[in-house]
Homo-oligomer: A and B are copies of this chain.
């Protein structure tokens, strides 16, 4: 949460934005609707976020419900499996699953929103880098390993299984995926 980067009741405004997105979709999301749901005057919201794409972009990056603790299990395999489990939950369980599907769908045909989702994924990767720094310090990450590529494969597998194949996440999926994309065994 960026203290000081929004009006009072920023948390309520951003939470209302995400819940209305999940309920109505991006087309029917309006700043007026967010004002009504959060109890904040719409001119206040417009002053801070000049468009609904800007408001949704801020909501995606700051929303507590889309954050999970960066794992520190003591091994890279354990940390990767924990990330896969957290992401699986975000993509399959309410309230986050419908919200993420709606944001993804909207970003595919709204260039302004796409620029905010790009910033969202860059922000998340920056938050995950300490996992790889700790692994390197332990000797658990070979020279030349590429943290972004590992995260692409790890996160991408969860996205493909849930959103493209539309199949359930089975027991052992996170551990097997962590084993597959862990580069240290080479």
Which A residues lie at the B interface, using CB under 8 A?
Answer: 25, 101-102, 104-109, 114, 117-118, 121-122, 125, 146, 148-161, 163-166, 173, 176-177, 179-181, 183, 185-186
The interface residues of chain B lying within 8 Å CB-to-CB of A155 are: 156, 160, 164
CA distance A186 to B176 in the complex (A): 13
B118 and A108: CB pair below 8 A? no
CA distance A1 to B186 in the complex (A): 41
A154 to chain B, nearest CB (A): 7
Other than A122-B165, A152-B158, A155-B164, give 13 A-B pairs with Cβ distance below 8 A.
Answer: A25-B109, A105-B105, A105-B106, A114-B166, A117-B164, A121-B164, A149-B157, A149-B176, A152-B161, A153-B177, A153-B181, A159-B159, A180-B181
A153 to chain B, nearest CB (A): 4
The interface residues of chain B lying within 8 Å CB-to-CB of A25 are: 109
The 5 listed contacts between A and B (C-beta, < 8 Å) are A25-B109, A105-B107, A117-B164, A156-B159, A156-B160
A156 to chain B, nearest CB (A): 2
A60 to chain B, nearest CB (A): 12
